[in-house]
């Protein structure tokens, strides 16, 4: 059977999926990046290899996305290296043809994508503040000593959510502390936080955008039923969370890899053996001009595989991605 591998390396999570020729998900993995993108991609490949062992699946295309898309693209040997907005849009319209709005909240960024007739017509990403993202929720959950998995469900128990300033994560936190000290119940505070986060998202990322149904909500934060309920309340629309909501970027990358390899018929995939190679990343500061660019070298067994980070192109050996 033909399989296509999608790799999405983000700030918080690294996701890998294998899809078949019809776009059906065969394997899906959600791992924590923990600031070590190379190791986590290798670990992911090891697990994927194990999962497809004996199932006669041949990987004939690989795509990468996410903030470490260039790095992971070099490591696995990607056929496509795509930005996460396109990858998420491709995945959403594959899972739900006719989708018109994609809400995506990940670890460190959040985005909105508008599609009409299957084509992306507008998008936006958060620019100024990270208050509306998964890292902040993670932080608050651990501060309140509640497992992040139960965080959203608690919000649903609330009868009267408190109002929390959601503009900035620092102010939101001090406001939450204040509300706790005042004696509000935990579910009311968490529900208030969900409302604040959604309000912040809609006022910043979603500003001026025409949000039409069907609305799909994906990214790690879509696991949070409290946030989903807050979105439904604020929008007055049903919000659909797809089955593979947390790995949609990787599904998009795999679908793009399938499209990219369809014409040329071969793949640049370096094989599962790369999970055992010794990749090293090193960096130095170029002294060529006062820009002092930080140049990164990626090498395997002492041989430089790729290099980036320079402004003038003097050090670049990598072809630019699109």
Partner 1 sequence: MKISFPYMGTSPLVVSYLFENLGHEVVCPPVPTEKTLSLGVQYAPEFACIPFKIVLGTYLEVLEMGAEVLITSGGCGPCRAGFYGELHRRILRDLGYPVEMIIMEPPLREPLDFLRKVYRLLKPAKLSNLYHVFRVAVEKMLSLDEIESTMHKLRPLAYNKKLITKAYSEGLEMIRQADSVKEVKEAKQATLEALWRVPANHEYEPLRVGLIGEIYVVLEPAANHDIERILGDMGVYVHRSIFLSEWVRYNVLGSGEKHIRASAIPYLNQMIGGHGQNSVGEVVRYAEKGFDGVIQLAPFTCIPEIVAKSILPAISRDKDIPVLTLFLDEQTGQAGIETRLEAFVDLIKQKRRKREAS
Which CB sits closer to partner 1, 83 or 299? Answer: 83
Query: Could you tell me where the beta strands, DSSP code E, fall in 117-179?
Result: 119-125
Which CB sits closer to partner 1, 36 or 291? Answer: 291
Closest approach of partner 1 to the CB of residue 156, in Å:
34
Question: What is the H or E stretch that residue 159 is in?
Answer: none
* Among 7, 85, 247, 298, contact with partner 1 (rule: CB under 8 A): 85
Residue 283 sits at φ, ψ, to 5 deg, of -140, 155
Which CB sits closer to partner 1, 122 or 238? Answer: 122
Which CB sits closer to partner 1, 86 or 140? Answer: 86
Which CB sits closer to partner 1, 105 or 230? Answer: 105
Which CB sits closer to partner 1, 53 or 314? Answer: 314
Which CB sits closer to partner 1, 282 or 291? Answer: 291
Given CA atoms 131, 137, 139, 144 in this order, what sign does their dihedral have?
A: positive
Tell me the sheet residues that pair with 279: 300
Q: Does 320 bind partner 1 (CB under 8 A)?
A: yes
* Among 268, 289, 303, 318, contact with partner 1 (rule: CB under 8 A): 289
Report yes or no: 146 and 154 within 8 Å, Cβ to Cβ: yes
Taking residue 77's Cβ as centre, other Cβ atoms within 10 Å add up to: 15
Closest approach of partner 1 to the CB of residue 317, in Å:
12
116-155 residues near partner 1, rule: CB under 8 A? 117, 119-123, 125, 127
52-71 residues near partner 1, rule: CB under 8 A? 67
Q: Does 84 bind partner 1 (CB under 8 A)?
A: yes
The contact pattern for partner 1, residues 199-238, with x = CB under 8 A and - = no contact, is ---------xx-----------------------------
Task: Give whole-number Cα distances, 37 to 83, 159, 175, 215, 220, in Å.
Answer: 17, 42, 34, 31, 18
Q: Does 83 bind partner 1 (CB under 8 A)?
A: yes
Classify 103 as helix, strand or coil.
Answer: strand
Distance of alpha carbon 247 from its chain centroid, rounded?
7
Cβ burial, residue 268 (10 Å; 0-12/13-18/19+): middle
Count of positions on this chain that bind partner 1 (CB under 8 A): 25
Report yes or no: 289 and 312 within 8 Å, Cβ to Cβ: yes
Closest approach of partner 1 to the CB of residue 304, in Å:
19
- The stretch near partner 1 (CB under 8 A) out of 26-34, 150-158, 239-247, 284-292 is 284-292
Q: Does 82 bind partner 1 (CB under 8 A)?
A: yes
Task: Give whole-number Cα distances, 120 to 98, 130, 211, in Å.
Answer: 11, 24, 13
Task: Give whole-number Cα distances, 144 to 140, 154, 158, 221, in Å.
Answer: 6, 12, 16, 18
Which CB sits closer to partner 1, 120 or 235? Answer: 120
Q: Which parts of this chain interact with partner 1 (CB under 8 A)?
A: 67, 82-86, 117, 119-123, 125, 127, 208-209, 289-292, 311, 313, 320-322
């Amino acid at each position: 059977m033909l399989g296509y591998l999608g790799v999405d390396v983000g700030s918080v999570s690294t996701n890998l999926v294998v899809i078949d020729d019809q776009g059906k998900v065969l394997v899906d993995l959600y791992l924590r990046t923990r600031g070590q993108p190379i190791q986590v991609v290798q670990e992911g490949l090891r697990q994927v290899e194990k999962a497809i062992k004996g199932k006669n699946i041949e990987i004939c295309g690989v795509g990468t996305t996410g903030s470490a898309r260039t790095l992971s693209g070099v490591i696995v040997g990607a056929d496509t290296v795509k930005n996460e907005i396109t990858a998420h849009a491709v995945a959403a319209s594959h899972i739900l043809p006719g989708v018109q709005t994609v809400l995506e909240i990940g670890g460190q960024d959040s985005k909105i994508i508008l599609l009409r007739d299957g084509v992306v017509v507008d998008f936006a990403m958060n620019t100024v503040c990270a208050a509306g993202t998964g890292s902040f929720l993670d932080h608050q959950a651990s501060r309140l000593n509640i497992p992040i998995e139960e965080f959203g469900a608690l919000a649903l128990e609330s009868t009267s959510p408190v109002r929390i300033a959601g503009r900035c994560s620092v102010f939101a936190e001090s406001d939450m502390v204040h509300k706790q000290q005042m004696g509000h119940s935990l579910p009311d505070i968490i529900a208030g936080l969900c409302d604040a986060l959604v309000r912040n998202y809609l006022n910043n990322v979603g500003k001026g955008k025409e949000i039409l149904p069907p609305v799909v909500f994906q990214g790690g934060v879509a696991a949070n039923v409290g946030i989903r309920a807050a979105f439904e309340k604020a929008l007055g629309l049903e919000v659909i969370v797809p089955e593979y909501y947390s790995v949609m970027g990787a599904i998009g990358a795999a679908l793009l890899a399938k499209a990219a390899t369809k014409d040329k018929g071969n793949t640049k995939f370096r094989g599962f053996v790369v999970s055992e190679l010794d990749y090293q990343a090193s960096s130095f500061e170029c002294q060529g001009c006062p820009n002092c660019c930080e140049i990164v070298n990626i090498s395997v067994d002492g041989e430089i595989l790729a290099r980036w980070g320079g402004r003038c192109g003097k050090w670049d050996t990598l072809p630019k991605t699109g």
